[in-house]
Amino acid sequence: MSSSNSRLHTPAASTSTSTSKHWVDPAALPPAPSIDVTTISGNVPDYAKQLVCNVFHAYGVGSSDQQFGYALGRATRFVDMSVEHSSERAGRMEGTTVAEVAVTKHMLNGAGMLHGGCVTYLIDNCASTPLVLLGIMSGQNGVGVTQGMNVLFHAPAPIGTVLRIISSSISMGSRVMSARCEIVDKASGRVVASAFLNKMQPVPPQSRL
């Protein structure tokens, strides 16, 4: 269950579909299926957790089992979502999300280890979520599109490994935002992969005229 934190800015859940404030409004996306946000720990309200899951499922999972990453996305579960005031940057907040997924047969490469493409998929979609969360909690657009990422592979992960994907925001500007991510073996704590992700806010076509 989520706990309250009076220091956090907790705006009312948005129901507007206007694009004047958000290029993509998380509240306008369909609800993520089979998600019980009350099982996700963290200090943000349940509506914010739901909106983050909505964005993750809309872009990282999709609505058809014919779409890339559908099975992996549906198997990935968030276990914590939090926003804290940074101890190093006065007046700044940092969003953090933690997700988990077990390595299954369809995630393996020819050597029987977690495929690098699966790692990149998980990083792209999971590392985006702390930015979405921070945007929801601060009244900004945290969705955007991926501009680039730098991924380091540290150790293999065989079938049955439970991956813990820890992502946190770094910076959030009006056009460019960044996050970091670590994928670790939950049982051993060994780092499987780490990455930095850059996202950008697309310019609406009408603003270019």
Distance CA 24, CA 60 (A): 15
Is the CB of residue 56 less than 8 Å from the CB of residue 143?
A: no
Q: What does the pLDDT read at residue 8?
A: 47
Residue ranges per structural domain of the chain:
30-208
Q: Which CATH superfamily is domain 30-208 in?
A: Hotdog Thioesterase (3.10.129.10)
What are 149-176's pLDDT values in tens digits? 999 999 999 999 999 999 999 998 888 9
User: What are the structure tokens assigned to 92, written together?
Assistant: 């700044």
What are 22-42's pLDDT values in tens digits? 467 888 889 998 899 999 999
C-alpha distances (whole Å) from 72 to each of 9, 61, 198 are: 33, 8, 22
Q: What is the pTM of this model?
A: 0.84
